[in-house]
Amino acid sequence: RPIVPEDVPKYVEFYSRVSAESKYYRFFAPYPRLSERDVARFTEVDHHKRVAFVMTLHDDIIAVGRYDALSDEEAEVAFLVEDAHQGRGIGQLLLEHLAQAGRERGYQRFTAEVLPENVRMIQVFREMGYTISGTLEDGVQHLVFDINATDSSLSVMRAREQRAEAASIKHIFESKSVAVIGASRKQDSIGQTLVRNLVLADFAGKVYAVNSQAEAISGMPAYKSVSDIPDQVDIAIVAVPSEHVLSIVEDCADKGVHGLVVISAGFAEEGPQGRARQEELLNLCRSNGLRLIGPNALGVINTASISRLNASLAPTMPPAGRAGFFCQSGALGTAILETVSDQGLGLSTFVSAGNRADVSGNDLLQYWLEDDSTEVVLLYLESIGNPRKFSRIARRVSESKPIVAVKSGRSTQGVPVGHAVRPSTAPLQAVDAMFRQAGVIQVDTLDEMFDVAQILAHQPLPRGNRIAVVGNSDAVALIVTDAAKSQGLQVAPPITLSSAAGAEQFEVAIEKALARDDIDALVVVYTPPVSTDGEEVADVLAAIGEQSDKPIVSTFLASKGIPMLLRVPDLQGGLAGRGSVPSYVLPEYAVKALARVVNYAQWAARDHGEYHVDATYRTGDAKALIRDVLEIAPRGAVLSIEQVHYLLACYGIDLLQWQNVHSKEEAIAAGEKFGWDVVLKAGSEHLRARPDLPHIWRNIQNAAEMT
């Protein structure tokens, strides 16, 4: 945050904790104490020519970064980080924020004076991705670098962001010790359920029950507070009345807890007073370096054998698998876990974040990006707090791991009670376009999500959109063909077997279809004759599915999910391994899910280019225009044609030449100037609001046509 004059005592205390060596590196001379004048100069800034940020932990300042203007385009930057926190990337983070502040205020370059032996500080500048020039004069390294964002600097910033956010989530999923605050002896209470779920999930770490009124709970000793626990606590699950949660956060911070899972309700979902309490909870967690899942959360689950964790109220521990799932509603989370188990779709990790005051789907995406146990990402999004960040991260994840998302509230664009984000004013088409651009597979329902996920988690991606159909019913094969064509798939003539066809005939037909070079995926339909269980056909289908490099989906006995007969053993201990063949109740469902996977595979195979930052972008001018508009219309306004042209030009988007005209003569003169082949468009709102009246005339080639 920016430094303020009230930070004087904290700043003096911070400086007293910094070593003599670090002070020497900062001031190039012994500087044991700050004078009153020094303190005033360092804590009083104008936030334009002199900008300073502090980083705090608990209530203490642990680092300061600042710049002082040398000219209208250049400023000198300097840092001081408490020794105990050096080497943690704090200098880079401060430089990132200072550079952003500098750019917003019109500065082009930063300079820095560094002693050559201060290798760590020099490394901070070089690792930020800026192009740095340097000279050595009088024993001091003089560094100069342009602070405009570059491809390299953006890459560094995003990599740092991803590492930090992923690591914070990893701390939670791979906890070695968990405290249940609010553990209870009362049967079926929330506190009792949390303890029981942890133990029954075979959690390999230590579980601590915290209850100020009990001596023992579920056969384990109970502690009065988390501070009484003799060992390290990685995460705390909080299930106490909301009015007591804030004091518990302070205890957890003092104990060194990494993260909180707040099950307690009574926050933003209960009105203004609860929202204020939630904001206070979030601020307290952030000031103490704690990640917060919740409040009003169902909890978190990790199915990995080495770190199994059920820190949730969910009565069902899902089977291990390759899909990571994030949702918000607790009630929905419980239903999801039951459905997952019923359909044979295993999960790697699961988070139901409730009001998601802190940890959101974006954080989970950062974690899943590098999590080897997760191959498919499933999101049920009731709101998107930071669409810009979501789009950026989702695009990166989608390049290596498919994301399937349900966005609820599409008809209203509303936000659930308790979610501290604004309702979206963007049209549905904008949200859909964002998902498409990021490679996200958007579906409308949970059933459709699971339909798509079954293919992604168990079958290879198709290399194209050409499918074959093998079945023992002409009628059903025709349904598949029609459904496939309606989804934009190319369909080869179906291979139709007799209704009494057995395993041998199916095996020959399936292998023949898969061997074709012009086939990318296969739909198998099996409708057994009376008194046949289809087990032999299932064995054939599962055996071929395990070896095939082309995806296979089926409508097998109208089963849903991965039926036992079509499962391949999972070497990782999950319910169904790679090669297991998904089955759908209706062939249309199978085809619709396959079509979505085909579209994703085509997106993933494309060259998406590289994000490029153009130094000629006039972002300052664009922001000035937007500020001017919002000063006049704080709730927003539609830009004029002239303003639209100006705004787009700031970002290098030059539209075709145009000119306002007010008479026939002016229109003819403009046509002559532009060389004709012009368009005449009525500017009157009256005409433009009447689609039944002509108001656009195209391809005008001369004065006669204009007349």
Cα separation, 544 vs 533, in Å, equals 19
What is the pLDDT at residue 411?
Answer: 54
What is the pLDDT at residue 425?
Answer: 62
User: Which tokens hold the place of 482?
Assistant: 């029609």
SS3 499: coil
Whether the ω angle into residue 32 lies within 30 degrees of 0, i.e. cis, is no
Closest CA to 460 of 598, 298, 364: 598
- pTM for this model (two decimals): 0.84
474 bridge partner residues: none
The full set of domain ranges for the chain reads 5-149, 168-452, 459-605, 619-706
Cα separation, 586 vs 583, in Å, equals 9
What is the pLDDT at residue 419?
Answer: 55
Identify whether the C-beta of residue 450 lies closer than 8 Å to the C-beta of residue 561. yes
What is the pLDDT at residue 427?
Answer: 73
What is the pLDDT at residue 688?
Answer: 67
Chain centre to alpha carbon of residue 38: 43
**CATH class given for the domain over 168-452:** alpha beta
Identify whether the C-beta of residue 232 lies closer than 8 Å to the C-beta of residue 177. yes
Instruction: Say which residue the tokens 């100020």 belong to.
Output: 212
pLDDT digits (tens, 9 = 90+) for 284-337: 999 899 999 999 999 999 999 889 999 999 988 999 999 999 999 888 898 889
SS3 491: strand
SS3 643: helix
pLDDT digits (tens, 9 = 90+) for 359-399: 999 999 999 999 999 999 999 998 888 899 999 999 999 99
Q: Which fold has domain 5-149?
A: Aminopeptidase (3.40.630)
Cα separation, 264 vs 501, in Å, equals 58
Q: Looking at domain 459-605, which CATH architecture does it have?
A: 3-Layer(aba) Sandwich (3.40)
Cα separation, 263 vs 352, in Å, equals 10
Backbone phi, psi, residue 469, to 5° = -125, 125
Instruction: Say which residue the tokens 């969910």 belong to.
Output: 314
Write down the H helix ranges in 399-534: 428-437, 446-458, 474-486, 503-514
Task: Kindly give the parts of the chain with pLDDT less than 50.
Answer: none
* Shared fold status for 168-452 and 459-605: yes
What is the pLDDT at residue 422?
Answer: 54
Q: Mean pLDDT, the chain, as a whole number?
A: 92
What is the pLDDT at residue 684?
Answer: 78
Identify whether the C-beta of residue 452 lies closer than 8 Å to the C-beta of residue 593. yes
Closest CA to 202 of 306, 322, 331: 306
Closest CA to 348 of 46, 24, 574, 96: 574
